[in-house]
Copies of this chain bind each other. A is one copy, B any other.
Amino acid sequence: MSEDTHESVSHGMQPEDTPELRALYQGFADQSLIPLWTQLGDLMPMTPAPKAVPHVWRWGDLLPLAEAAGTLVPVGRGGERRAIGLANPGLAPNAYISPTLWCAIQYLGPRETAPEHRHSQNAFRFVVEGEGVWTVVDGDPVRMSRGDLLLTPGWRFHGHHNDRDAPMAWIDGLDIPFTQQMDVGFFEFGSERVTDYATPNYSRGERLWANPGLRPLSGLKDTVSSPLAAFRWEHTDRALTEQLLLEDEGQPATVEQGHAAVRYVNPTTGGDVMPTIRCEFHRLREGCETPTRREVGSTVFQVFDGRGAVVMDGVTYRLEKGDLFTVPSWVPWALQAESQFDLFRFSDAPIMERLHFARTHVDGT
């Protein structure tokens, strides 16, 4: 395949415009028909031609707006969440960061509660800074702290409450655009409050499942989504640190030189944490530059720590802590680290892989 061509399928063979053709086209319209030959290039491009565009959102812009919303917008039944979606400019007027993914900054004021509900959509939260909120998932209170990934897989009741006198903000990721376009979503209200205001350090799910290589005999049935719903920064940081140390020792451990990475997985299968969303954490050594990649499917990154840049479609965007960016399908991208550079990543890769549309191209390979 000539992967570098963006040319469209040509429309060179359009039939001659005659009264008979116009009558035919009117007949099509009357019968809810549209001929392929008038729109093939849009329907079936030579390579993916996303409407979504590469885009960067700055934490320095997002956080003040979220704080202002905290003053002006109540949280409660109806609106459900004080969440502000990152809307890809190419997908307006939809609040989609990509054709499959939704990403928002959510803000909870001191002592506030976001009421319980459940939905088919798969969701997670990632905490770039702060602490003090517990998300209660099917009755299990889960602490949210800096660097943690917290899951709310489809159809589990969940609400959040802030146990502190300070506000907290974090990132939500969901598969809302996919579920909305595919007509698969159900929604149900739960308690007006959360069902358990306890504030344990570790959720029951972690106490059962966060023991490496150990599976409770009470949990032998594989689950669609991970029963471990909290992935703590202490573990992620240690895993990445060890990969780089092993690399120093000459051992195979990193993705490529200077680039450590982990995927968050469902311990019952070793596969992705949820059926539609992949979550990963990447750490680059200072000075590391990744090769340029293209991937089918869309992805979102948030800078967790350090400074660096992303190059998307040949344009370089400098990045700092909290900044978010999205890479649409088949757009070439590469990362550059000015310091040790930590990034959380999520994507729709499980959709692409399960439906066998996944392709990756790495420059120089």
Contact = CB atoms under 8 A, between A and B. Distances in A.
Interface stretch (A161-169, A216-224, A302-310): A216-224
Interface in A219-261: 220, 222, 224, 226, 228, 231, 235-236, 238-239, 242-243, 245-246, 251-255, 261
Contact of A213 (B13, B65, B254, B265): B265
A83 B44 CA distance: 14
Contacts of A266: 213, 270
Nearest to A89: B32
A123 B207 CA distance: 29
A340 interface: no
A195 interface: no
Interface string A172-186: 000010011111111
A10 interface: yes
25 contacts: A1-B188, A9-B187, A12-B78, A31-B62, A32-B55, A34-B95, A36-B80, A36-B83, A40-B78, A43-B102, A120-B357, A182-B297, A183-B296, A207-B253, A210-B212, A211-B235, A213-B226, A213-B264, A214-B231, A214-B235, A215-B262, A215-B263, A216-B263, A222-B270, A265-B267
A79 B212 contact: no
A255 B217 contact: yes
A317 interface: no
Contacts of A264: 213-215
Interface residues of A, number: 142
Q: Which of the listed residues A31, A62, A211, A265 has the most CB atoms from chain B within 10 Å of its own CB?
A: A211
A83 B212 contact: no
Given A100-B182, A296-B184, A355 B354 contact: yes
Nearest to A296: B184
Contact of A328 (B43, B183, B187): B183
B48 A218 contact: no
A110 interface: no
Interface stretch (A20-28, A126-134, A285-293): A20-28
